[in-house]
Structure 1
Amino acid sequence: MSTYPNVTETKELIKQLVSIPSPSGYTSRAIQFVEDFLKDLHVETKRNNKGGLIATLPGENDKKHRLLTAHVDTLGAMVKEVKKNGRLRLDLIGGFRYNSIEGEYCEIHTSNGKTYTGTILMHQTSVHVYKNAGDAKRNQENMEVRLDAKVKNADDIRELGIEVGDFVSFDPRVQLTDNGFIKSRHLDDKASVGIILQLIKRLKEENITLPHTTHFLISNNEEIGYGGNSNITPETIEYLAVDMGAIGDGQSTDEYTVSICVKDASGPYHYELRKHLVELAKQHNVEYKLDIYPYYGSDASAAIRAGHDIVHGLIGPGIDSSHAFERTHEDSLKATENLLYYYVQSEMLSI
């Protein structure tokens, strides 16, 4: 039997995932990576019409199903305007602030398949020229992309094939530290995608038959609100979103435990499922924290809003500085992997 969790392997997998550009709407490469990973494990998968991926592990009970989801789409941007000064104006994809991408390296993905690099900067960057360089607002009006190309005007840019609507991805700047941290953009939610892939791999390696048929949805539109609100089988009773736990003032979530969400902006998560997850954590000595995320929604809450009659829950690794320069620790990855491992082997709630 393999040692689990193999957190070094998990971190390397997350590193590969965050290095694949996949802002919402531009996720085909990341989905293909996940599909290839699962194909090597001989796991049945299918694509939905939205471009997400669904993997299924048959269980002893095929009348009551479970569904777990994590999302491979990330924050990003689109080209809003090809500016006369030879730079690009952005329109953001997902909920974050312009100040969190100031100075970031980026890539522009054109519709003809070419990729160009650039840097996201304030128009008024040079303190030798602009007196208000530090005071100007970080917003769409003032921030722009400086292309790494010889361009002086909008015509030069268009000659490269860059146009309004091209996707812009951010350099993840991923690093694995010697003391167990992984810091990178897009740990929301590629940390959870890596965890789910490792979970499936272990279940296959250990030849475990689950008590219930279990689906794993790798969604691709969560950051814009509707990644996991469809393709839920009528037999699905329990729906567990695996997404980041948010850290900040007033929060109990940290980078070293699994976070179990009790409520977010959509309202409370299912009480009995939450209690079941807590009982499993206690029974198997998995370190956890209960928390409320005030400005947060998940694929599970999107499924509830879509009208699905399901029991919904949310857990995940604690992620510091969410939607900015994110970081977590291998302890949190291990705790989340372990809780999922025991959860999918547990008996379903009696509702």
Structure 2
Amino acid sequence: MQTAITIDQDYLVTRLKALLAIPSPTGFTDEAVRYVARELEHLGLEVILTRRGAIRARRAGVTERPARGIVSHVDTLGAQVKYLKENGRLELVSIGNWSARFAEGARVSIFSSKGIYRGSVLPLKASGHTFNEEVDTQPVGWPYVELRVDALARNRDDLLQLGIDVGDIVAVDPEPEFIDNGFIVSRHLDDKAGVAIMLAALEAMQRANVETPVDSYWLFTIGEEVGVGASAVVVPDIASLVAIDNGTTAPGQNSSEFGVTLAMADQTGPFDYHLTKKLFELCAEHDIQVQKDVFRYYRSDAASAVEAGHDVRTALLTFGVDASHGYERIHLSALTSIAKLAVYYAMSEVEIKRDAEETAKGLKGFTHQKSTKAEQDLKPEDTPAE
């Protein structure tokens, strides 16, 4: 009889709050890596770090192969100083792909050689009393915003004297709000919510002494927002890789803020047929709400792993995010659902035994894809389903 899994929501929320409090734009992830690594060690796992800080934690199963990987990313969107302006303000470029529309008005931290400064990102024409309608009619984009530093910065020389220079990392305040009805509103839920989901899944497994048929690797990457995510953290034993990241609850999408949204494809193409089918069936087996979606303008750690040459089956589990890469909103229901599914996936039996080897001679054990003719029961006179 399979162990019943309960996800500790208080643990999950506590981890998410702590992660959101640690600035970690791509390129400035060390402290977030330290937090996650310490938590993994607290849960009893051995932590392996790559040179730059991607995390790999192995949880032993009955056999080593074909191992399963589950991955999320600790890095977030942010900005970087491009130019010191003569008016004492900073020109910015984005870290990751996000609109300056969501940067306007944000409070930020600038990480300079002399320490942290605070500031605000503002449109070039910010004063309503001076520019009137031009505040609304000016273009939107990174060339049309600047960072006002909360320090004596009257000109470029002042900025240099403060220790601020080209290339300094800028972290945007998350401004999180955890609402009693389960909604969570914050920047950087992509993908700190995914990291919290994985930690909560591991906590549930450790608490219940869950045994898995094969090893599972819990991976945390540091460069997903710039496209390199899981390129250097996957090991040869891993045959299947499930990414956990945000979905998009926008018009024309099938994602939901509740339950699991299973991605069938993103801009890099379809996810693995057999792995996505297995995850969908596990949701039905364990009464987990699930819906499918396709994302046109999206990539994840799964893509970077395959593009780096890892021959792994990939899938993507998402929590529906409203206003993704902006001021995001999710619901605790989705986080709990994905954490449960991650555990049940790790516990499930391996169906494709051949995956234990990266290559094998001949067709023995190779997979099939359904190709039988569909049975059609509908008749023209039938009443359409409501």
What residue is the counterpart of 1:115 in the other structure?
116
Per-residue Cα deviation, 1:167-214 (whole angstroms, up to 9, x for no partner):
000010001001111111000000010010111111111111221111
- Residue 332 (structure 2) pairs with residue 330 (structure 1): yes
Q: Would the aligned equivalents of 2:124 and 2:146 in 1 still touch at CA under 8 Å?
A: yes
Structure 2: which amino acid aligns with 1:41?
L
Q: Would the aligned equivalents of 2:5 and 2:204 in 1 still touch at CA under 8 Å?
A: no
SS in 1 for 2:334: helix
How far the C-alpha of 1:302 sits from its partner, in A, is 1.3
What residue is the counterpart of 1:316 in the other structure?
318
What residue is the counterpart of 2:91 in the other structure?
89
Which residues of structure 1 form unaligned runs of 5+? none
Which residues of structure 2 form unaligned runs of 5+? 353-366, 368-386
Q: Would the aligned equivalents of 1:61 and 1:213 in 2 still touch at CA under 8 Å?
A: yes
What residue is the counterpart of 2:129 in the other structure?
128
What residue is the counterpart of 1:269 in the other structure?
271
How far the C-alpha of 1:117 sits from its partner, in A, is 0.5
SS in 1 for 2:229: coil
Q: Distance in 1 between matches of 2:116 and 2:40?
A: 28
How far the C-alpha of 1:111 sits from its partner, in A, is 3.2
Q: Would the aligned equivalents of 1:93 and 1:224 in 2 still touch at CA under 8 Å?
A: yes
How far the C-alpha of 1:39 sits from its partner, in A, is 1.5
Q: Distance in 2 between matches of 1:3 and 1:270?
A: 26
SS in 2 for 1:228: helix
Q: Would the aligned equivalents of 2:55 and 2:233 in 1 still touch at CA under 8 Å?
A: no
How far the C-alpha of 1:128 sits from its partner, in A, is 1.7
SS in 1 for 2:76: coil
Identity %, equivalent residues: 36
Q: TM-score, normalised by structure 1?
A: 0.97
Q: Would the aligned equivalents of 2:73 and 2:224 in 1 still touch at CA under 8 Å?
A: yes
How far the C-alpha of 1:215 sits from its partner, in A, is 0.7
SS in 1 for 2:38: helix
How far the C-alpha of 1:139 sits from its partner, in A, is 2.1
Q: Would the aligned equivalents of 1:226 and 1:299 in 2 still touch at CA under 8 Å?
A: yes
How far the C-alpha of 1:2 sits from its partner, in A, is 10
Sort the Cα spacing of 1:238 and 1:323 in 2 relative to 1 into closer, same or farther, 3 A. Answer: same
1:210-225 aligned at under 5 Å gives the runs 210-225=212-227
Q: Distance in 1 between matches of 2:342 and 2:227?
A: 24
What residue is the counterpart of 1:40 in the other structure?
42
Q: Distance in 1 between matches of 2:4 and 2:28?
A: 35
1:30-69 aligned at under 5 Å gives the runs 30-69=32-71
- Of the three residues 194, 197, 203, the one matched with 2:196 is 194
Structure 2: which amino acid aligns with 1:235?
D
Per-residue Cα deviation, 1:269-321 (whole angstroms, up to 9, x for no partner):
00111110010000000001100011000111111122211111110211111
Give the total of aligned pairs.
350
Q: Would the aligned equivalents of 2:267 and 2:299 in 1 still touch at CA under 8 Å?
A: yes
What residue is the counterpart of 1:181 in the other structure?
183
How far the C-alpha of 1:257 sits from its partner, in A, is 1.4
Q: Distance in 2 between matches of 1:230 and 1:347?
A: 27
Q: Distance in 1 between matches of 2:277 and 2:144?
A: 48
Stretch deviating more after TM superposition (121-130 or 190-199): 121-130
Q: Distance in 2 between matches of 1:73 and 1:349?
A: 34
SS in 1 for 2:41: helix
Q: Distance in 2 between matches of 1:63 and 1:290?
A: 29
Q: Would the aligned equivalents of 1:11 and 1:182 in 2 still touch at CA under 8 Å?
A: no
Q: Distance in 2 between matches of 1:155 and 1:322?
A: 38
How far the C-alpha of 1:3 sits from its partner, in A, is 7.6
Structure 1: which amino acid aligns with 2:76?
T
Stretch deviating more after TM superposition (220-229 or 41-50): 41-50
How far the C-alpha of 1:61 sits from its partner, in A, is 1.4
What residue is the counterpart of 2:293 in the other structure?
291
Q: Distance in 2 between matches of 1:170 and 1:4?
A: 34
Per-residue Cα deviation, 1:26-81 (whole angstroms, up to 9, x for no partner):
00000000011111122100111232111110111112111110000000010111
SS in 2 for 1:116: strand
Q: Would the aligned equivalents of 2:54 and 2:233 in 1 still touch at CA under 8 Å?
A: no
Q: Distance in 2 between matches of 1:218 and 1:44?
A: 14
What residue is the counterpart of 2:19 in the other structure?
17
How far the C-alpha of 1:348 sits from its partner, in A, is 2.2
Per-residue Cα deviation, 1:123-149 (whole angstroms, up to 9, x for no partner):
201122124111111223220011111
| Structure 1 runs, 4 residues or longer, greater than 3 Å off | none
Q: Distance in 2 between matches of 1:223 and 1:292?
A: 19
Structure 2: which amino acid aligns with 1:80?
K
Structure 1: which amino acid aligns with 2:141?
N
SS in 2 for 1:229: helix
What residue is the counterpart of 2:169 in the other structure?
167
What residue is the counterpart of 2:77 in the other structure?
75
Q: Distance in 1 between matches of 2:271 and 2:168?
A: 37
Q: Would the aligned equivalents of 1:273 and 1:349 in 2 still touch at CA under 8 Å?
A: no
Q: Would the aligned equivalents of 1:270 and 1:311 in 2 still touch at CA under 8 Å?
A: yes
How far the C-alpha of 1:333 sits from its partner, in A, is 1.0
Q: Distance in 2 between matches of 1:246 and 1:87?
A: 34
